[in-house]
Amino acid sequence: MSYDKNNIFAKILREEIPCKKVYENEYVLSFYDINPQKKIHVLVIPKGEYVDLEDFTNKASDKEIVEFNKAITYIVKMLKISNQEGGYRVLSNAGKDAGQEVPHLHYHIFGGEKIGRMVF
C-alpha cells in the first residue's frame, strides 16, 4: 500500500475536512472517530506521510516517534481512561489483510467502558 496524498486523514490534516479535535501538537493530531465503536473512540495520527507502523518506524525521525507515543499516553490521561482509571485499548491495522482502510498510520484508542475480547 502506498501513501495517497488524498486520503481522508491527509485532507483532515490540510483542514479540507473538519474534525472534532482531542489533541494536537507539532507532530500529532487526535480527533474523535466519526463512527465510534465504543463510548470513547478517538484516532491518533502523525502529521507526516506514513502509511503504517512499519513505514513510520523506518522513515520518521526519532523525535516524531517519541512524540507520537507520548501523545497517546497524554490523550488517555486527558480522556480519563488511563489504566489507573479503568483502562483503554490501542489498535492499529497494517495492510489489507489486517483491514487497513486508510493508507495513513492511525491508532484507534477505545475506552470509557468494558471493551471485551481482543479478537472478534
* pLDDT single digits (tens) 16-72: 999 999 999 999 999 999 999 999 999 999 999 999 999 999 999 999 999 999 999
Read off the CATH number of the domain in which 20 is found: 3.30.428.10
Assess if residue 1 is contained within a domain: no
- pTM here is 0.93
Residue at 120 is within a domain: no
Contact call for residues 108 and 38 (beta carbons, < 8 A): no
H helix or E strand, kind and range, residue 43: strand 40-46
pLDDT (tens digit, 9 = 90+) per residue, 67-106? Answer: 999 999 999 999 999 988 999 999 999 999 999 999 999 9
- Which residue's entry shows cell 492511525? 106
CB 56 within 8 A of CB 65: yes
Of 41, 104, 106, 108, the catalytic one is 106
**For the chain, how many structural domains are there in total?**
1
Nearest by Cα to 42 from 8, 81, 11: 81
Domain that holds residue 69: 8-111
Contacts for 34 with CB less than 8 Å, ≥ 6 apart: none
Concerning whether 106 is annotated as a catalytic residue, the answer is: yes
Contact between 27 and 46 (Cβ < 8 Å):
yes
